[in-house]
């Protein structure tokens, strides 16, 4: 198992990628905030499978302060670099970019940022004002620093995936964005770096998110109202969770269709831990 080359600075990153660039090789990027789990491993495996042996897979590990609001979990967000490097090594990652905040934001808060559109148009944006401005800005910066040909994002953060795709298209960034299906525990809980904060009783409650989504998926043939009603029934049976939103949309998150492909999304707090999840479904078919 070869340890990846670790770049902390822009100059080290440039040096680490210079050889692959000189021979015209591809660069595949997996942006992360660390605390890597099997969901991230699936992103790395997808990146490795999408390129040749001689190309390079880069994982970035950077807990981006700009995407955390006041009172959110920036300081308690898990930082586990040694274990993360083992995960990267096990998945054929050649370069890990883990810059400091000053390396990414050398002039302090950036004056020019990426406007992801109004928060009012986004479920996460309404609950976490400014979050997606922070995400879009740091992803644009990582794209500028790494200059990847492809980048891999988990479907678990579905709004983020759709936003990044839109940013790349609207700003003509010329990067192929690949969405990777959510990895789940055997009981359905979507893997998340935040799951480690759940106490055993909260861990049981947290399953109700995926159970609600699955109930919604099963109700898909009966139409949008049936989906939301089925999912809500599961969530309402668990007073221990505090729902932020339950939503249904088309896969591009533009509007709610009556039939065809759709996405059902949920966010809730279990104790002080905020969890999000979503599933694909098909609406209609039964009249």
Each residue 55-94 as x (binds ligand PAF by CB under 6 A) or -, in order, gives ---------x--x---------------------------
Confirm or reject binding of residue 116 to ligand PAF (CB under 6 A): no
Candidates 5-13, 29-37, 95-103, 166-174 — which segment interacts with ligand PAF by CB under 6 A?
A: 29-37
Q: How many residues of this chain bind ligand PAF (CB under 6 A)?
A: 10
Q: What is the nearest approach in angstroms of ligand PAF to the Cβ of residue 138? A: 5
Confirm or reject binding of residue 32 to ligand PAF (CB under 6 A): yes
Shortest CA distance to 90 belongs to which of 138, 142, 136, 45? Answer: 45
Confirm or reject binding of residue 281 to ligand PAF (CB under 6 A): no
How is residue 265 written in tokens? 């999304």
Between 31 and 116, CB nearer to ligand PAF: 31
Which residue carries 């993360």 as its tokens?
84
Compute CA distances 99 → 141, 154, 266, whole Å: 12, 22, 32
Considering only residues 126-155, where is the footprint of ligand PAF by CB under 6 A? 135, 138-139
Q: What is the C-alpha to C-alpha distance for residues 271 and 277, in angstroms, rounded to an integer? A: 17
Of the candidate residues 17, 33, 93, 270, the single one contacting ligand PAF (CB under 6 A): 33
Q: Which of 37, 40, 91, 131 is catalytic?
A: 40
- List the beta bridge partners of residue 269: 242, 274
Residue 40 is among the residues annotated as catalytic for this protein: yes
- List the beta bridge partners of residue 6: 96
Backbone region of residue 16 per phi and psi (left: phi > 0; alpha: psi in -120 to 50; beta: other values):
alpha
- Residues 142 and 29: beta-carbon distance below 8 Å: yes
Among positive and negative, which fits the CA dihedral 194, 197, 200, 201? Answer: negative
Residues at the interface with ligand PAF (CB under 6 A): 31-33, 64, 67, 135, 138-139, 157, 160
- Give catalytic residues, as residue numbers: 40
């Amino acid at each position: 198992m070869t340890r990846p080359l670790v770049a902390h600075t822009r100059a080290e990153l440039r040096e680490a990628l210079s050889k692959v660039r000189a021979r015209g090789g591809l660069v595949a990027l997996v942006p992360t905030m660390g605390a890597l789990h099997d969901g991230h491993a699936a992103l790395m495996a997808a990146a490795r499978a999408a390129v040749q042996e001689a190309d390079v897979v880069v994982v970035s590990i950077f807990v981006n302060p700009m995407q955390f609001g006041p009172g959110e979990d920036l300081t308690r967000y898990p930082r586990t670099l040694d274990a993360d490097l083992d995960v990267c090594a096990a998945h054929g990652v050649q370069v890990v970019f883990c810059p400091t905040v000053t390396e990414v934001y050398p002039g302090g808060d950036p004056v020019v940022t990426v406007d992801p559109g109004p928060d009012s148009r986004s479920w996460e944006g309404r609950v976490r004002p400014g979050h997606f401005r922070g995400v879009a800005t740091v992803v644009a910066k990582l794209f500028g620093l790494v200059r990847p040909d492809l980048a891999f994002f988990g479907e678990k953060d579905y709004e983020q995936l759709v936003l990044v795709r839109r940013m790349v298209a609207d700003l003509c960034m010329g990067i192929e964005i690949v969405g990777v299906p959510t990895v789940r525990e055997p009981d359905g809980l979507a893997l998340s770096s935040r799951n480690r904060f759940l106490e055993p009783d909260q861990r049981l409650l947290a399953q109700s998110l995926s159970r609600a989504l699955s109930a919604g998926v099963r109700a898909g043939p009966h139409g949008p109202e049936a989906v939301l009603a089925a999912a809500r029934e599961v969530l309402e049976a668990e007073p221990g969770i505090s729902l932020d939103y339950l939503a249904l949309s088309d896969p591009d998150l533009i509007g709610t269709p009556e039939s065809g492909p759709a996405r059902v999304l949920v966010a809730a707090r279990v104790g002080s831990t905020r969890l999000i999840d979503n599933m694909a479904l098909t609406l209609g078919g039964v009249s």
